[in-house]
Amino acid sequence: MEKWLLDSLIAKGVLTPAGIGRRAHVRRCRDCGRYTFVGLDDVVMAGVATVDVAPLDALGELLALLCGLTTYDLSWRGDRYEIDRRESHHIRSAPPGSKAGNDVVNDHRCGVDIAHHAASRLRIPSAYVFPDKPPF
Protein backbone atom coordinates (compact mmCIF):
# COMPACT_ATOMS: atom_id res chain seq x y z
CA MET A 1 0.00 0.00 0.00
CA GLU A 2 1.28 3.45 -0.88
CA LYS A 3 2.43 5.57 2.08
CA TRP A 4 0.11 8.47 1.23
CA LEU A 5 -2.89 6.12 1.15
CA LEU A 6 -1.92 4.48 4.45
CA ASP A 7 -1.45 7.93 6.06
CA SER A 8 -4.87 9.04 4.78
CA LEU A 9 -6.62 5.91 6.06
CA ILE A 10 -4.95 6.29 9.46
CA ALA A 11 -5.94 9.97 9.63
CA LYS A 12 -9.59 9.07 8.84
CA GLY A 13 -9.59 6.31 11.48
CA VAL A 14 -10.12 3.50 8.98
CA LEU A 15 -6.85 1.80 9.93
CA THR A 16 -4.55 1.86 12.93
CA PRO A 17 -0.86 2.70 12.41
CA ALA A 18 -0.25 -1.07 12.45
CA GLY A 19 -2.62 -1.46 9.48
CA ILE A 20 -5.49 -3.04 11.43
CA GLY A 21 -9.02 -2.24 10.23
CA ARG A 22 -12.58 -3.54 10.59
CA ARG A 23 -11.76 -6.64 8.53
CA ALA A 24 -10.64 -9.23 11.08
CA HIS A 25 -7.56 -11.22 10.12
CA VAL A 26 -6.34 -14.51 11.49
CA ARG A 27 -2.98 -14.20 13.23
CA ARG A 28 -0.92 -16.30 15.59
CA CYS A 29 -0.26 -14.93 19.05
CA ARG A 30 3.42 -13.98 19.32
CA ASP A 31 3.60 -15.24 22.91
CA CYS A 32 1.67 -18.54 22.94
CA GLY A 33 1.31 -19.36 19.23
CA ARG A 34 -2.47 -19.88 19.29
CA TYR A 35 -4.60 -18.65 16.39
CA THR A 36 -6.58 -15.46 16.97
CA PHE A 37 -8.66 -12.97 15.01
CA VAL A 38 -7.44 -9.35 15.14
CA GLY A 39 -9.50 -6.34 14.05
CA LEU A 40 -11.14 -3.10 15.16
CA ASP A 41 -14.17 -3.74 17.37
CA ASP A 42 -16.35 -0.87 16.14
CA VAL A 43 -16.60 1.85 13.52
CA VAL A 44 -16.38 4.86 15.86
CA MET A 45 -14.08 5.01 18.92
CA ALA A 46 -12.81 1.53 18.08
CA GLY A 47 -10.15 -0.42 19.87
CA VAL A 48 -8.04 -3.25 18.53
CA ALA A 49 -9.58 -6.56 19.56
CA THR A 50 -7.63 -9.83 19.63
CA VAL A 51 -10.03 -12.73 20.12
CA ASP A 52 -9.82 -16.51 20.33
CA VAL A 53 -11.16 -18.38 17.32
CA ALA A 54 -13.18 -20.99 19.28
CA PRO A 55 -16.87 -20.08 19.63
CA LEU A 56 -18.48 -20.04 23.07
CA ASP A 57 -21.83 -21.44 24.15
CA ALA A 58 -23.89 -19.71 26.87
CA LEU A 59 -21.95 -21.37 29.69
CA GLY A 60 -18.67 -20.50 27.98
CA GLU A 61 -19.66 -16.84 27.73
CA LEU A 62 -20.63 -16.78 31.39
CA LEU A 63 -17.31 -18.35 32.38
CA ALA A 64 -15.40 -15.90 30.19
CA LEU A 65 -17.17 -12.93 31.77
CA LEU A 66 -16.56 -14.32 35.28
CA CYS A 67 -12.85 -14.64 34.39
CA GLY A 68 -12.81 -10.94 33.51
CA LEU A 69 -12.66 -11.48 29.75
CA THR A 70 -14.63 -9.38 27.27
CA THR A 71 -16.87 -11.20 24.80
CA TYR A 72 -17.37 -10.27 21.18
CA ASP A 73 -19.58 -11.14 18.22
CA LEU A 74 -17.51 -12.53 15.36
CA SER A 75 -19.68 -12.07 12.27
CA TRP A 76 -19.36 -12.94 8.61
CA ARG A 77 -20.24 -9.80 6.64
CA GLY A 78 -20.41 -10.95 3.02
CA ASP A 79 -16.70 -10.95 2.23
CA ARG A 80 -15.01 -10.58 5.60
CA TYR A 81 -15.15 -11.27 9.32
CA GLU A 82 -15.83 -8.40 11.71
CA ILE A 83 -15.52 -8.19 15.49
CA ASP A 84 -18.08 -6.31 17.61
CA ARG A 85 -17.90 -5.90 21.38
CA ARG A 86 -20.87 -7.43 23.24
CA GLU A 87 -22.52 -5.15 25.77
CA SER A 88 -25.10 -6.25 28.34
CA HIS A 89 -28.06 -5.64 26.01
CA HIS A 90 -26.41 -7.83 23.31
CA ILE A 91 -25.82 -10.62 25.83
CA ARG A 92 -29.46 -10.53 27.00
CA SER A 93 -31.09 -10.27 23.56
CA ALA A 94 -28.83 -12.55 21.50
CA PRO A 95 -27.32 -15.46 23.44
CA PRO A 96 -24.57 -17.51 21.77
CA GLY A 97 -25.84 -19.64 18.90
CA SER A 98 -29.00 -17.58 18.34
CA LYS A 99 -27.88 -15.67 15.22
CA ALA A 100 -26.86 -17.37 11.97
CA GLY A 101 -23.39 -16.42 10.72
CA ASN A 102 -22.39 -15.13 14.14
CA ASP A 103 -20.18 -16.67 16.82
CA VAL A 104 -19.57 -15.38 20.31
CA VAL A 105 -15.86 -15.38 21.20
CA ASN A 106 -13.77 -14.06 24.07
CA ASP A 107 -10.76 -11.79 23.98
CA HIS A 108 -7.48 -13.65 23.84
CA ARG A 109 -5.43 -14.14 26.96
CA CYS A 110 -2.44 -16.47 26.83
CA GLY A 111 -2.93 -19.55 28.97
CA VAL A 112 -6.71 -19.13 29.31
CA ASP A 113 -8.69 -21.68 27.32
CA ILE A 114 -12.48 -21.44 27.41
CA ALA A 115 -13.35 -23.35 24.24
CA HIS A 116 -17.07 -24.18 24.24
CA HIS A 117 -17.49 -24.67 27.94
CA ALA A 118 -15.14 -25.47 30.75
CA ALA A 119 -15.23 -28.00 33.55
CA SER A 120 -16.23 -26.46 36.85
CA ARG A 121 -13.34 -25.61 39.13
CA LEU A 122 -15.66 -25.04 42.10
CA ARG A 123 -15.28 -27.26 45.11
CA ILE A 124 -18.63 -28.91 45.71
CA PRO A 125 -18.97 -30.27 49.23
CA SER A 126 -20.24 -33.81 49.43
CA ALA A 127 -23.23 -34.54 51.67
CA TYR A 128 -22.30 -38.20 51.86
CA VAL A 129 -19.03 -39.56 53.19
CA PHE A 130 -18.03 -42.69 51.32
CA PRO A 131 -16.78 -45.52 53.57
CA ASP A 132 -13.37 -47.05 52.98
CA LYS A 133 -14.94 -50.53 52.86
CA PRO A 134 -18.16 -50.82 50.88
CA PRO A 135 -20.98 -52.93 52.41
CA PHE A 136 -20.85 -55.54 49.62
Residue by residue, pLDDT tens for the chain (136 residues) are 567 656 665 666 555 566 667 788 888 999 999 999 998 887 666 778 999 988 888 889 998 999 999 999 888 877 778 899 999 988 888 888 888 778 888 999 999 888 665 333 324 445 556 566 666 5
pTM over 0.85: no
State how far the alpha carbon of 107 is from the alpha carbons of 52, 69, 91, 129, in Å. 6, 6, 15, 41
